[in-house]
Amino acid sequence: MTSATYIGRFAPSPTGPLHFGSLVCALASFLDARHQAGRWLVRIEDIDPPREISGATTTILRQLSDHGLTWDGELLYQSTRTEAYREAIAALQSAHLAYSCDCPRQRINSLGGIYDGYCRQRTVIENPAIRLQVPSESKAREPEATIKFDDLIMGHYMQNLCSEIGDFIIQRRDQLFSYQLAVVVDDRFQNISHIIRGADLIDSTPRQIFLQECLESLSGKHPAPTGSPLTSSPLTYGHLPMAINAEGQKLSKQNHAAALVAGKESQNLWLALQWLGQQPPDQLKNESISRILDWAISNWSLNAIPKQLAMPAPSHY
């Protein structure tokens, strides 16, 4: 891997300030990129206005800068990308890889959350959501619906899209684009090669790999996704343990995770490195952020990260 081909990213949603869990994701993706002399991009995932908190983007960008996490190039705001999302959906629909659906939530709940494809054959549907069709089991002995990848941290991961997920939403009935769609369209657009993020998203990864393959097939770069077993991805993934609170919940705005405190950047970085298994020396604790980051870039080891889906955050940060 050379600096020309490694492109990593941190992709926060502006739903609140960074907390310890989001710092760990930003820091790990930054260090992995810098350790390999790669580029590191920041993308603001502002496609869900009802969930956004005004001023959160400014706060997040300031917190990143205060911690010395300097990104390359321009920021990308997903709110500027609606045309690209619309085009991707139109192309998927014309290729019959996606279809309109107006099934009410109660119906989907009654199916246990895994959609049964009821709307696949229906034609005129008003105010629809759009679903991506996953490969069905019946078509294959070697289940095409099984997506496998080797995670840099968690190891081998597999998921059967047909039995575990079902046809999934890429555009909601309120017309908002889904996270799965926007993230895949933009990771392709930005030529991302490496995704280092929290393990809360590991079960989204097979959907994203499948959607990438669908889009690749439309651009003629890859055989049709239903024509061959899907086993590989052009992207490399590493999922970090998820930072949880004393009650075992993921740190988030909803459960009042404390925002990072301005003025404690060196301690925050040291704690995050320690949490990531990097064993920073004690004397580094009171050094400048640039000395801490220099040490961390040189000594970065993905292998040292605990292979656990969740780990308690430090009680004070």
Contact residues: ligand GLU, CB under 6 A? 11-13, 45, 183, 197, 201
- Taking the least distance from each CB to ligand GLU, the nearer of 125 and 259 is 259
- Taking the least distance from each CB to ligand GLU, the nearer of 183 and 296 is 183
Minimum separation from the CB atom of position 195 to ligand GLU (A): 6
**At residue 100, what are phi and psi to the nearest 5 degrees?**
-80, 145
Helical segments of 39-158, H only: 56-66, 82-94, 105-110
- Asked if 72 and 41 count as a contact pair (C-beta separation under 8 A), the reply is yes
Minimum separation from the CB atom of position 292 to ligand GLU (A): 24
Minimum separation from the CB atom of position 208 to ligand GLU (A): 8
Instruction: Give bridge partners of residue 151 from the DSSP assignment.
Output: 155
Residue 205 Cα distances to 126, 150, 152, 180, angstroms: 30, 11, 13, 9
- Taking the least distance from each CB to ligand GLU, the nearer of 161 and 199 is 199
Distance CA 317, CA 267 (A): 8
- Taking the least distance from each CB to ligand GLU, the nearer of 9 and 34 is 9
Minimum separation from the CB atom of position 183 to ligand GLU (A): 5
- Taking the least distance from each CB to ligand GLU, the nearer of 12 and 38 is 12
Minimum separation from the CB atom of position 205 to ligand GLU (A): 9
- Asked if 191 and 7 count as a contact pair (C-beta separation under 8 A), the reply is yes
HSE-CB of 238 using CA atoms within 13 angstroms: 26
- Region for residue 308 given its phi and psi (left: phi exceeds 0; alpha: psi -120 to 50; beta: otherwise): beta
